[in-house]
Structure 1
């Protein structure tokens, strides 16, 4: 592909901006149950409060997600992490990184922030134990210096939680 046939950063940014504005408007009209978007002036970073679903291990607990979008959104998945303190969960590392396939390999541009949030709440709700992943300490140590979870080669092997 030559540079003249590839979309410019400005074009990508406009596509991402239009999509994010549309999603934000839809969110404000009909937010997913259990989630609150914290209003800010940065369209490319959303902070979202997550409230644990009733009758689950996380019932009534509140956590925060940070969702960062690139100029390539929705073609590229947003980067989604839990802010400190991250919930104790077998697929959530203490640094907030989330092992969930739709955030990486299984992402589709048809997905939205709302659908990602519902998937994360579903993952929390199906957990039978509050614990960190077995390799938490090693993983977090390797992620020092601001390494993005998108740089991780995730191994998706456990669909029970």
Structure 2
């Protein structure tokens, strides 16, 4: 891991141990390049009431210039949330997580978790993305290799 990435992650880890935003919990980090975080939706969204979800973060040598790979994972008492932008294999379609226009080096693990919390909070559809079954059958590729097309209905 590059010195810059390692220093940034050490700084973020120190901040995490001082405290996190409500509904965000550090789970573990076997090394600097791989972290797990739990998140809860704190509002009264009935789709996620009482549930906790686990996020897996993988950091490249280019972090924070490059976005981390972030996916939901199954764990004991943890499921992958139903959402129109979350595939059943845990891959999240969120522009913030693309190293293109959505990501900024000012983002952090905590701010990513907060953005995903917000995404879940606003959801009203208990469904997977269109084409979920075909998408998850294409195994063996990195999350970084996926290029989502984001549709902005306001344009």
Establish whether TM, by shorter chain, passes 0.5. yes
TM-score (norm 2): 0.89
How far is 1:158 from its partner? 5.5
How far is 1:54 from its partner? 2.8
Select which of 42, 63, 69 maps to 1:53: 42
CA offsets per residue over residues 46-74 of structure 1, 9 Å max, x none?
11111122301212201100000011100
Distance verdict in 2 for CA 1:159–1:87, change over 3 Å: farther
Q: Which residue of 1 aligns with 2:92?
A: 98
Aligned residues: 147
Q: Which residue of 2 aligns with 1:134?
A: 130
Does the 8 Å CA contact 2:58/2:69 hold for their aligned counterparts? yes
Q: Find runs of 4+ consecutive structure 1 residues off by over 6 angstroms.
A: none
2: CA distance, partners of 1:111 / 1:18:
15
Q: Which residue of 2 aligns with 1:111?
A: 107
Unmatched 5+ stretches in structure 1:
1-11
Report the 3-state secondary structure (helix = DSSP H, G, I; strand = E; otherwise coil) of the residue aligned with 1:138: helix
Select which of 5, 21, 24 maps to 2:13: 24
Does the 8 Å CA contact 2:28/2:37 hold for their aligned counterparts? no
Work out which of the two has the higher radius of gyration on C-alpha atoms and give 1 or 2: 1
Report the 3-state secondary structure (helix = DSSP H, G, I; strand = E; otherwise coil) of the residue aligned with 1:39: strand
2: CA distance, partners of 1:23 / 1:58:
27
Does the 8 Å CA contact 2:56/2:73 hold for their aligned counterparts? yes
How far is 1:41 from its partner? 3.4
2: CA distance, partners of 1:41 / 1:48:
12
CA offsets per residue over residues 77-103 of structure 1, 9 Å max, x none?
000000023111000000000000010
Report the 3-state secondary structure (helix = DSSP H, G, I; strand = E; otherwise coil) of the residue aligned with 2:84: coil
Q: Does 1:121 align with 2:117?
A: yes
Aligned CA RMSD, in angstroms, stands at: 1.6
Q: Which residue of 2 aligns with 1:4?
A: none
Unmatched 5+ stretches in structure 2:
none
